[in-house]
């Protein structure tokens, strides 16, 4: 278990280098610095065997928190506690010496991770095999690519049989094959009861690995819960932080997150059949229409309207908008009501799906979001009646054969 109580980290910022000395010489009579809290009042409990995710924009305080937990920096206030052996992947290649070979770096850094010489000797060939560096394992690491760095670092970190594993963006580097290999090893650790703290901007990895997620913003925890819900809140806060306009509102409900400046309001989203009949379910391959009804609260030129289909696990299945389809929507005045429709073949596998809808300026909602509504409509896709298939996509295959000589 990891327990964090009232944790905070404060830094002092000086306008000029000399101000630090002047302040010190004044014996506290003159304060020449500004205070910056990188973390403030962090309270978390991560259970044994849990994979706990941390998400947030750059500068939110994620790396600062991990550095405190691994002992590389000291908190200003608060406490944290965990027991057992800790392995951490924080900064790519941290602790590796460029002139030493991969083998020599494993021998040196293995000791720093708490392994004895005997343990390193027993495990070093397994580390080499897992990294798949081959002959490069005997070469100086200054010759390594960034992907080779992370292969060596991850292979070493997971070799120590940790009780707590801390990972900061390490899986974002490297090829898809090695990323899958690392994800498999993380799942194996989870099955063994290892507590894992996982920081990533990769929403797919967060959904696939994490039991619970916390969202950090400006050094504070602003959301915590199921990965789907927290990632939706993260998406809304990203638009609020980066977008333009005023009166941006973020609301959460049992259905999902609703956000935007409300210059246009999404009042209804649904699914229609060939004869414009309302549908709650459709068969794979059917021709359907997804409609988005919008009330305009302000005059808007060429608003963008978008849809995003997600599966029952919250993974993105398909999304687009009229801007990307190069279809302008024209000018709309305050008080007008519009219905915007996407005609498509529902080439999805059987299952439960939801539709999120948005209206905004330009190509994406970050520029200026009028309204984004998550999981506003749910529907079912029924099995195709022509033949059975597996997976999420219906690719309309044709089967042929020929004799070859």
At CA 301, angle to CA 299 and CA 303, rounded to 5? Answer: 100
Strand, coil or helix: 214: strand
**Which helix (DSSP H) or strand (DSSP E) does residue 34 occupy?**
strand 33-46
Q: What is the pLDDT of residues 312-360, one digit of tens each?
A: 888 899 999 999 999 999 999 999 999 999 999 999 999 999 999 999 9
DSSP bridge pairs for 338: 294
d(CA 363, CA 313): 26
**Which helix (DSSP H) or strand (DSSP E) does residue 242 occupy?**
helix 227-242
Q: Does the CA dihedral 97-103-108-112 come out positive or negative?
A: positive
Q: What is the pLDDT of residues 111-127, one digit of tens each?
A: 887 888 999 999 999 99
d(CA 398, CA 360): 40
d(CA 140, CA 103): 9
d(CA 289, CA 273): 6
DSSP bridge pairs for 279: 271
Every domain range in the chain assigned CATH 3.40.50.300 = 2-227
Every domain range in the chain assigned CATH 2.70.50.60 = 249-382
Q: What is the CATH number of domain 249-382?
A: 2.70.50.60
Q: Which of 87, 83, 5 is nearest to 48 (CA)?
A: 83
Strand, coil or helix: 25: helix
Each of the 405 residues of the chain gets a pLDDT tens digit; together they read 899 999 999 988 877 787 777 777 777 777 777 888 999 999 999 998 899 999 998 889 998 999 899 888 999 999 999 888 888 877 655 678 889 999 999 999 888 878 889 999 999 999 999 988 999 999 999 999 878 888 888 888 888 888 898 888 766 656 677 778 888 888 888 888 899 999 988 888 888 889 999 999 999 999 999 999 999 999 888 887 766 555 788 888 777 889 999 999 999 999 999 999 999 999 999 999 999 999 999 999 999 999 999 998 888 999 999 999 999 999 999 999 999 999 999 999 999 999 999 999 999 888 899 999 999 999 999 998 888 888 899 998 889 999 998
Answer for the pair 85, 164: CB distance below 8 angstroms, yes or no: yes
Q: Which residues of 116-146 are buried (b: 16+ CB within 10 A; e: fewer)?
A: eeebbeebbeebbebbebeebbeebbeebee
pLDDT score recorded for residue 173: 56
Q: What is the CATH number of domain 2-227?
A: 3.40.50.300
Q: Which of 320, 317, 374, 375 is nearest to 350 (CA)?
A: 317
d(CA 148, CA 153): 9
């Amino acid at each position: 278990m990891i327990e964090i109580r009232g944790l905070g980290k404060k830094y002092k910022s000086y306008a000029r280098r000399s101000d630090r000395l002047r302040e010190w010489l004044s014996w506290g009579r003159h304060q020449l610095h500004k205070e910056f809290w990188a973390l403030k009042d962090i309270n978390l409990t991560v259970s044994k065997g849990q994979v706990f995710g941390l998400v947030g924009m750059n500068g939110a305080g994620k790396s600062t928190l991990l550095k405190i937990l691994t002992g590389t920096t000291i908190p200003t206030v608060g406490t944290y506690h965990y027991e057992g052996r800790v392995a951490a992947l924080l900064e790519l290649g941290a602790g590796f010496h460029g002139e030493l070979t991969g083998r020599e770096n494993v021998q040196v850094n293995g000791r720093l991770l708490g392994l004895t010489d005997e343990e390193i000797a027993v495990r070093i060939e397994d580390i080499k095999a897992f990294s798949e560096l081959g002959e490069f394992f005997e070469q100086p690491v200054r010759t390594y690519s960034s992907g080779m760095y992370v292969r060596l670092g991850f292979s070493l970190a997971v070799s120590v049989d940790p009780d707590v594993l801390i990972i900061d963006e390490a899986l974002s580097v490297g090829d898809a094959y090695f990323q899958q290999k690392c994800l498999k090893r993380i799942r194996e650790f989870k099955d063994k009861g290892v507590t894992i703290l996982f920081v990533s901007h990769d929403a797919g990895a967060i959904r696939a690995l994490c039991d619970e997620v916390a969202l950090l913003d400006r050094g504070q925890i602003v959301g915590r819960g199921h990965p789907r819900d927290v990632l939706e809140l993260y998406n809304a806060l990203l638009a609020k932080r980066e977008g333009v306009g005023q009166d941006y509102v973020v609301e959460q409900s049992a259905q999902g997150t609703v956000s935007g400046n409300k210059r246009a309001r999404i009042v209804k989203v649904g699914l229609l059949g060939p004869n414009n009949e309302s549908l709650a379910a459709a068969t794979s391959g059917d021709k359907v229409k997804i409609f988005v009804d919008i009330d305009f609260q302000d005059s808007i030129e060429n608003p963008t309207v978008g849809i995003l289909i997600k599966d029952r696990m919250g993974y993105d299945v398909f999304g687009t908008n009229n801007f990307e389809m190069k279809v302008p929507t024209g000018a709309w005045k305050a008080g007008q009501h519009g219905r915007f429709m996407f005609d498509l073949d529902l080439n999805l596998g059987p299952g439960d799906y939801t539709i999120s809808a948005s209206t905004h300026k330009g190509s994406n909602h970050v520029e200026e979001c009028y309204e984004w509504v998550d999981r506003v409509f749910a529907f079912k896709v029924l099995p195709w009646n022509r033949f059975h298939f597996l997976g999420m996509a219906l690719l309309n295959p044709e089967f042929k054969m020929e004799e070859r000589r």
